[in-house]
Each structure stands twice: as structure tokens, then as C-alpha cells.
Structure 1
Amino acid sequence: MSGFDPAVVAESCGGTWYADALPSRLTGFSQDTRRLQKGDCFVALVTDSRDGHDFLEAAKEAGASSVLVSQPFSNFSLPQLCVPDTLIAFQKIARYHRQAFSGKVIGVTGSCGKTTTKELTATLLGEGVLKTEGNLNNFIGVPLTLTRLDQSTHHFGVVEAGINEPGEMDTLAQMIEADVAICTMVGEAHLEKLGSVEGVAREKSRLGELARPGAPMLFPAQCLRYPEFRRFGARAWVAAPPGSDLPEGNFNRLNYKTEPNEEGGCRLKIESAALVPGIYDLPVSSPGLVSDAVLAITATRLCGISEKDIQVRLKQWKLGKHRGDWINLGQCLIYDDCYNANPSSIAEALAAFVSRSANEQSRLFILGGMKELGDESQALHEKVGRNLPVREEDRVVFIGNEAEGYLTGLKASGFPVSSVEVFATALDAVDSVKNFCGSVFLKGSRAYALEQLLECFSEEKEVSC
């Protein structure tokens, strides 16, 4: 039966119902009255910006069957499940519900590429799949996703886990309790609170450590430089591109190589002693996306999906919005990867852009700053600027408070400053870039919303190209 038994919900979170009569079932859970469905239990979360208890009447008007609260309200007519902390209680409910799910749950994390890998994994699994919607990958998003698992309709759940503080992954991983865990890569992301790349590795590895006993942990070869990943031993499935120098260990090696295909992507061959070799046509060819595909394909094969079904479903794969898509606008070919940015994802994106635009006469690099890098921010921005693959005929635009770091690094590389412009916001740069014709690289942190620049490239040009 779909939905939730109120008595079981109370038992799972240690709460007490205050009500004359309970609903027979709770259809689901929602913390947002704007998205609440009739019959849902409204979760009154308390955050820095709002107190969900202020929205109980709105939840009632939206069709809530009950509310999860931290104290009973005497003049409120809906059944109230009272707990000491509504977020912790919601997470306990989600964990209990996930443990009762008889299908398989795939957990996905990583410094970059986790959303792409999550989407591809869900596509390859076929029908009966629940996946994380958007970026609902945190303390609130993960339980929202897990409580949507329906025993009657779902065979698989693909759940994304995103963190930026030490200890967060333990909470998420204990809820997800993955049957298969994936870490797309470890890189310089969220250093402001995680402190170092080693700190990132420790956190990311916890998704596999807290998975179900014996659960496979999939990751690329670069993760083996961290002891936390080497300790997975026989549970590890390691994506190894040509030339990988892997340390000794009893892990499962996924050797893969690619060659161009006729569709502009690549043909991928994966070989492993533990799996029958597979050949797959991908619509992408950049190293990072290929690595993500190797992990997603292997995860689905470990879940029992046939090679034939995977090959067919790969044709349905489309990259998410602003996540490495090539767009023709006006007289520009734009590499739109501006959803977010960190040093690792910028390096990967630059490689993809240059591989396709190397012969273009004119290229424009637009980079927004990278957030949450802590004390390493200046040095990491300088490193990106210093390694920017620009030619004398290219133009460069830096956007945001961190632009000075990019500029310092680029100057050190010898690139002429006369070809560089710096702006505070994306909209400030419109007049400077709108008449450009050629290939455009667009990437930066979410805070800078560089997609605002896309529209200006589609306008009729005022100059000849």
C-alpha cells in the first residue's frame, strides 16, 4: 500500500501524536506549502531564514493531512506529530522508509559530475526509477527524495549527496544506505569548511563506508591517491583510463578507452576481469564525462541491467541545463557549463572546449569566480588563470569578486592584459561581449548566474564577423 502509516511514522522518529483522530495514511511529506500535495504531512522545519511553524495554517489550506512540529499547538485542528527536532525526526523517518524499500538504492557524490552521473544512472536503469530532483541533495533534500520511494512503483532509487561541512556525509550516507555507491571524483571544492582536498576525500569516502555491507564503491583512479579509498579493497570498482598507474590492491579495475565515433561523441570500451567487456556509443567525448559514464554504466550493470538495454538507453542521454552543453546562438558556438564551478570542473570544461574550438579563429573565455574555497581561494584562482589555454587572438572576461586572482595568474602566463576585461556581474559584461562572433566558453559559480549572458549572443550582431 502506498503512503505512510501514522503509527509507524511516529515509532520511526520517536514522536507523539496529538489528535482526536489520525488520518488512515499520510500520502507523503513536504516542507514547502507551495508544493505540498493533498494528504501530505507538513514538516515544520526551522532554518536560519524561516520557521516552518509559522506556516501551519497555510499547510492546512494547501491540503495537509497532518503536521510534524516541535511543540503542540492547542488551537490548531490538524493532527500534530510532536518531536524535539523536526529535521532530525524527518531524517529518521526517511531512513526507516529507505530501510523498508526492497529495491536497490544507488548513492552518488563527488566534487563535480555528481548530478550528471545521477541523471545518466537513472536513465540507464530504465523504468521504475526514482531520482533526486534538481539539486535536492542536502539534509532536507535527501529525506524528501527517500520518502518518495514507493514500493509499488519503484525498483531503483538514485540519490545524490552533496556536502560542504565535515560530518555532513555521515548523516546523508546513513539515510541513503547505498546498495551501490559512486564518487565521481575528489577535487578542490567547498574548501572553506572542509579545509583541504584530503578533507574532501575523507567526507566523500563515507558514502561507501556507510553503505550496506559489501556494497560496491565505484570511483575513478585519481581517488586512489587517498588512503580512505584504497581501504575499500575488493569492494572498489576503479575506472582506469589508458596510462593509469594504479597501486597494488585487490580492487576491481575498470580499464576503458575511447575512439571518436561518427556522431561527434566517442565509442567507449570497458574491460574488467569481473564483468563481460562492453562497447558503448556516447554523445560526449570529454574525459570527465567519459569517466562519469564509465561509473554510471558499471553501476547499472551491477544492478542487473543488460549491456543491450544500456546501449539503447544511452541514446536518450542528454546533459542537464548549463552542464556542458554546446549551443549555437547567432554567430556563436557556446560551451555552456555555467551551472557551477570549482578548479577541477573548470579544468575539465576547458579541455572539452579547447578540443572542439582549437581551429576557431576567434574565442572568448568568460569565467565567473569560484566560491567556497576558503584560504586557498586566491591561489586556486591564480592557478586557473595561469593555466588558461588562451592564444594571442583570444579574448578573456573575468566576472566577480574573485576576478583579481584569475587576472594575476593570467598576467604571470604572459597573456596580454589588453585582451582581458573584468566586471563585477554578468549583466555588467553584456555590452562588452554581445557583438562577439566565434566560440564562447562560459563557466562560473552559481552565484554569478552567467546564463544571463546567453541571450545577448542570440541578438543580431552590430558588426560584421
Structure 2
Amino acid sequence: MNIEEIARITGGTLADANGQETNTIDDFETMYSFVKSKSTAYFSPNKHTWWKELGRSKNAPDGNDLIDKENEYVGLIITENYVENLKHKTPQLIVEDSVAAFKTLAIHIRNQYHNPVIAVTGSMGKSSTRMLISSLLQDYNVLENRGNNNIRAAIYANMLKLIKNPDFAVIETSLNAINHRENTALYLKPDIAIVTGIGAAHFSTFNSISEIAQLKARLFAGLSHDGVAIINGETMFADYLQDEASQYTKNVLTYSKYKDENVDFYCDHIDYHKGAVVFSIEHPHGLEEYKINTFSEGMVSNTLAALLTLKTLQIPVNPDYLESFKPFSKILAMKEIQTPTHTATIIDDTHNASLPAMINAIQAFNSQTKFFSGNKVIALGKINDLGHKSREVHSELIEVLNDSNADHILCLDADLRPVVGQVKNKHITWYPNKALLMHDLKYLCNNDSITLLKSSSGGTDFPEVAKALPNVLKQLSLNEDFGDLFEEVSKIGRSYLIVDNHTGEIIERYNDDQSMTIEGMGPFIYYLKAMADKLDDEQIIMNKWVTNNETYYKGKPTTLFELLESMTNQPHPSQTYELVDYVFKNFANRKKFTDTLITQHELSNSISTNLTGRFRIKERQSFTVHDLLKLFNAYKYDIFRFSNAFIIGLKYKSGLIRGSKQTIIFTSYNNIEDLKSKITF
């Protein structure tokens, strides 16, 4: 197209275009950094118009502000506001509404394009399916999404790029592009529309999976009667999708990983190998075998969608293109890590997550565990964007994790804490922060281990764990006889500080940079609350607690000061429950005090995961000598009101012991008599 024709279609006014009206434009960009040629037009996003009409971030800069005014390699600037002081007289097309012009031109160009357009949507697998189709069509000129940009603006931007007249266009489409605000499928007009699956996602915006299915089905509205709908026959609402597609086209095809007389395209058999899957499909001339270098059932399903697409296009499949295909770097990417002492394998699948994608990742992990002799580990972060349905959706993982081949399961994020509590017969632990999870995870990645890392890409810190873990492992030396995780981290976390009582200076330290516990400091926190409230002693009749026994029972008389003294020396859980009941009105009151204490003294949020502070496999907690030191400096007179020692923990003891001249602060010791010998009494 030439500049004058673009002006006519959009209804804009040309400026600085004298003598350049017939200049050719063969590409369009809405991102200025990609404008590299005088044959490229830059559609400058107006900050306010594009936010209002296309949902562009309010904080995104105005398109005009991104223009390099000395750049001569721009063919045309399409903008609502004339750009002043350009060094070179670049033609400008001034339009009243840049979004309206953007859409009008995109629709015009799409209507002039006559090669096949393939549109892909789904709650999971749409990016991989789009990339697979493009890979299988690599002998042709293929237009596809940049990265996985699949919102409304990206659909129109790709329609503009059809001006290049590619052999095929393979366009991934999100819910954003086909929701009730605007269905871009009506303008994209795909010749083939693919729905890879329906699953739990986007519940911060939508109320139910059925609503998501209804929206995904809107992709079919762009089909002509001769178009083709391709649908995952195994997905939820598959029948509904077929019925919806049939309203627009006579050609509705389905696929499945398993033989099913009700689907049109399926695998004859599937074999899982280490890091790969081999499967066969029956063709008129016999079985055709394919290999993909991944081990995900979901990727097999996506491959079937891609193969059925090529079959529909009547283009032969080159199996080598399939075998050499590589998805996004974080889609079930298997990576072998060589440490100083051993070899560990990581599967990083933190690209994104819906419930089906997370289940698929766990099942893929299960298919690989037989090839590894070391620990089998699953580490999870939450599925993002579930809104009010988060607990309900995450609960679907309980049975999947129960049935998994994992020896250890580590979970981050509050959304997964209820899941951990309900998984049975598994070594499963919830972590309050990424640092603590990383600390334990690295020790589980022993020789010939396999570890799955799975989470959403946003809304969680978990991807940072996945990013850092390979480098952490490359520096880790691990003894072959490394035993039970919590026994070992307690030994590693053994440390102490000796502090001068008069000056407060640290006069001796041991291993304080590795300091760690497997207990929390709950009793210490509640003791400090009672001290802060300056409570008077009084008699207390103990209540019924789940931990009551012959010594601590309902109706047992005690006093507040007896309870406080008990906190200083490994209290029984019932004593801790009783003190909490006395000093706090409710859970919210206790949480507020604990959170305030953590913030005020810059303590780790792992110091109090459960109420009693007791070690529990399912609730990881920990504190350090430096946490204790901060509290010692702030409350040294209150701490030793009842005793010259404050001991936390049962098997592994942590705390403070005061002598006449020094105080020793320590973590994770079996026997504290040796510690006492280090200070003067």
C-alpha cells in the first residue's frame, strides 16, 4: 500500500508528505523499537485512547514520546497529535482516533488477504499448539504472534501484518480478544479455528468454567460455512464446543490422545521415554510414528491439533520438524545440572499454569520418575488469576498429588496451604517464603534426582525459585549419606552467638550465617505479648485442648505466671494453647501482634507458622540466631524475668541462656550443656 491509500482508508490528514504520497508501506508496528525501515509505518498508541479502548496500561508512555526524533528509518507515523521537531521530514498521518484508524486499516488488510488464517485459543496449550503448527509449516512464510502476545491489540496488529502476504497466518487468541467487549474473531475471520481445551482459569474475572467455555466458543463465530473447527475431544465442554461450532461451519473435527470412535483423529499408541514421547497415528498407508522431545501428555494433545491442522490443509508432515521442535524455554524444559558432587535434573514448567496445565505437568513428571534413582520432588507455586475460586480449584490437586510418584512435595503461597493439609501419606510441606523453600529444595536435589518446578508465571514468587535453583545447585556439594531432610538441616543450622551483657557486642560466633531451626518461636511471641500487657498473676483453670493428657487436662488449676514460666522451657502444647487463649481475643488479634512484631524487628515471616511452634512436616517454620538477637536487644529484661534461660524446641533446642557476664544465643542443639560451658555464670 502507499501512504496516500492508507490516508484514504483511515480518513486521516497527511502532513509532511509532499512528494512522498506514493511511498510504499509493507509493514506496520505499534512498538517503536521494532521500526527499522522506511517502508514501515508506526501506529503511535495514544496514551488515553488506547487505554480506554484497548485496555493498554494506564502507566504506558504515549507512543509519540517513544519516537527518536533523529531516526530517518520510519516510513510513516500514524498519530492523533502531530510530532514536532523531527530531524527528517517523515510523513505523518493525523487521525482523529488512532484506535479506530488502527482497526479500520487492520480489517481492510485482512479482507484483501486470501491465504489461510489459523486461529488458536484454549485455557491451556494454545501457545504450544500455535508454535507447533508454525514449526511444521517452516518451509513456508508464516506469520504468527510475537512471543505470546495474544490480546485484542495484538490480533489487530497481526491483521495489519497480513500486508506482507504470508503463506499462512497462525494467530493465538486469548479471552481478552474474544470476550463480550469485542470479538475480534469476526474480523480475523479464521479459516481454521482451534480450541485446545477448557479449564479452570481467569476466575478473578469470570464466575465459572462454563462461562469460559462460552467465551472460547466465540472464536467459531469468525468461521465461514466452509471453514474448519478443530476441537480437543477430551476437554471439558467438548460437546458444547462442537454444537457451537456447528452453527457456523459444516466442518467440525475432533482429536484425542486415545482411541475413540467419537473423535476424528487419535493416537494408536503412546510410549514414554526419558525426555521424549513416541506415538503413532493410523494413516491410509499404515501407522505413522512421530517423536517429540518432551514428555507431556498435554504436548501430545497439542501435537495432534497441529497434525490435524496440516491434514486439513493437505500439507504433508515432516516428522523431523516435529522431533526438532522446542517450545517456550519454561514449558516442561528438562535440564540436567552438574553440581560439584552429583548430577540433578530439573523440569522447569513455570511458563504459566491453569489447573489442567498443572495436572498435566504432574502427570508428565510421573511418566519420567522411573528413569531416575534419586529423589523424586515436586515443588509448586500457585495457579494465578483464580479469584474467589482459588481454594476450590487448588483442591483439585489433592488427589493428583496423592497419586503422584513424588517422594517430597514442597508448596509455596497461601493458596496451596489447604492442599498440603489434605494430602495424605506424602512427605509434603508448605513454606511461608521462597527463601526457606529454596534452602530445603536444594538439599533434596540429590544424585540422579528429578524435580518438577510448576507455577503460574505471575502472582507468585515461585518463578524466582525456578530461575535461581540451577545456579544454586551448581555450587552445592552434597554428601552421599545426606539423610532425613529436617534432621540434616537442623545439623546444618546449628549455630550460636555469645553476647557481652554489658556492651551488647557479639564476642564469639559460630556458623551464624547458616543458622536455622525446624521449630517456630510461637511460645516466645506469646510470652512477649503478656510481658507487653504487664499482666498481673491470677489463677487459670485449663480448658480442653486437642493436646491434653494426664498432666495437662481440662479443669487443671494453674496460674498466669506458671504458664509464662513454662514458656521459657519447652512448654507442653496445651500450656501454649492456654496462654494464647488468655492473652489474645481471637486468631486475628494473635496474627496482628505477630505480624507487627515481625515487621517492627525485621524478622523472617517463617518464625511462626503454627500456633505452638512445634515441628510439623506439613508446616515449615524457622528462625535464626539473628532473629533471637534482635528480640534479645529489644526485650532483654522481660525475657529473663522467670528464668536465666529461654529454651524453644523439643529434640532440637534453640534459645537464650544468660550468664553473669555473657548471654549465649543458639539454634538447633541436641544438648545445651556444652553451650553453658562457653559462658560464665
Between stretches 296-305 and 309-318, larger displacement belongs to: 309-318
Question: Is 1:311 paired with 2:322?
Answer: no
Partner of 1:119: 131
Q: Distance in 1 between matches of 2:164 and 2:280?
A: 35
Question: Is 1:279 paired with 2:288?
Answer: yes
Partner of 1:79: 91
Deviations 1:193-246 (A, max 9, x none): 132211211121122221344211111112554524323234211113436585
Deviations 1:272-329 (A, max 9, x none): xxx87762312245321111111100101211212xx433422332222101122111
Q: Secondary structure at the match of 1:148?
A: helix
Note the C-alpha offset of 1:20.
4.3
Assess if the C-alpha contact under 8 Å between 2:78 and 2:93 holds in 1: yes
Note the C-alpha offset of 1:372.
1.1
Deviations 1:304-361 (A, max 9, x none): 212xx43342233222210112211122222221101111100111101111115644
Note the C-alpha offset of 1:19.
3.7
Note the C-alpha offset of 1:166.
6.7
Q: Distance in 1 between matches of 2:309 and 2:122?
A: 15
Partner of 1:431: 439
Question: Is 1:140 paired with 2:150?
Answer: no
Aligned partner of 1:446 among 457, 460, 464 = 457
Q: How does 1:260-339 map to 2 (within 5 A)?
A: 260=271, 264-270=276-282, 279-283=288-292, 284-306=294-316, 309-330=317-338, 331-339=343-351
Q: Distance in 1 between matches of 2:287 and 2:393?
A: 38
Q: Distance in 2 between matches of 1:169 and 1:313?
A: 38
Q: Secondary structure at the match of 1:265?
A: strand
Assess if the C-alpha contact under 8 Å between 2:144 and 2:169 holds in 1: yes
Partner of 2:251: 235
Q: Secondary structure at the match of 2:264?
A: strand
Assess if the C-alpha contact under 8 Å between 2:134 and 2:170 holds in 1: yes
- TM-score, normalised relative to structure 2: 0.60
- TM-score, normalised relative to structure 1: 0.86
Between stretches 75-84 and 294-303, larger displacement belongs to: 75-84
Q: Distance in 1 between matches of 2:307 and 2:405?
A: 41
Assess if the C-alpha contact under 8 Å between 1:258 and 1:267 holds in 2: yes
CA change 1:414–1:204 in 2 (3 A) is same
Note the C-alpha offset of 1:421.
3.8
Q: Distance in 1 between matches of 2:5 and 2:225?
A: 26
Partner of 1:37: 36
Question: Is 1:461 paired with 2:465?
Answer: no
Q: Which residue identity lines up with residue 32 of structure 1 in the other structure?
A: M
Q: Which has the higher contact order (CA 8 A, sep 6+)?
A: 1
Aligned residues: 446
Assess if the C-alpha contact under 8 Å between 1:224 and 1:230 holds in 2: no
Note the C-alpha offset of 1:72.
3.9
Aligned partner of 2:409 among 366, 380, 396 = 396
Note the C-alpha offset of 1:41.
2.0
CA change 1:424–1:99 in 2 (3 A) is farther
Q: Distance in 2 between matches of 1:197 and 1:326?
A: 31
Q: Which runs of 4+ in 1 moved over 6 A?
A: 390-393
CA change 1:361–1:278 in 2 (3 A) is same
Deviations 1:379-422 (A, max 9, x none): 212322453146797222223xxx22322122112256x74141
Q: Distance in 2 between matches of 1:414 and 1:313?
A: 43
CA change 1:32–1:133 in 2 (3 A) is closer
Partner of 2:610: none
Q: How does 1:26-425 map to 2 (within 5 A)?
A: 26-39=25-38, 40-45=40-45, 46=47, 47=56, 48-55=58-65, 57-58=67-68, 61=71, 63-72=73-82, 78-127=90-139, 128-149=141-162, 151=164, 154-164=166-176, 167=179, 170-221=182-233, 222-225=235-238, 227-233=240-246, 234-242=250-258, 244=260, 246=262, 253-260=264-271, 264-270=276-282, 279-283=288-292, 284-306=294-316, 309-330=317-338, 331-358=343-370, 360-389=373-402, 394-399=407-412, 403-415=413-425, 419-425=428-434
CA change 1:214–1:339 in 2 (3 A) is same
Aligned partner of 1:13 among 1, 7, 10 = 10
> Share of identical aligned residues, percent?
18
Q: Secondary structure at the match of 1:440?
A: strand
Q: Which residue identity lines up with residue 431 of structure 2 in the other structure?
A: V
Gaps of 5+ in 1: 247-251
Q: Secondary structure at the match of 2:4?
A: helix
Q: Distance in 2 between matches of 1:168 and 1:60?
A: 42
CA change 1:140–1:60 in 2 (3 A) is farther
Rg larger in 1 or in 2?
2
Q: Distance in 2 between matches of 1:70 and 1:305?
A: 44
Q: Secondary structure at the match of 2:146?
A: coil
Q: Distance in 2 between matches of 1:393 and 1:378?
A: 22
Q: Distance in 2 between matches of 1:184 and 1:200?
A: 13
Q: Which residue identity lines up with residue 328 of structure 1 in the other structure?
A: E
CA change 1:434–1:258 in 2 (3 A) is same
Gaps of 5+ in 2: 48-55, 481-681
Note the C-alpha offset of 1:100.
1.6
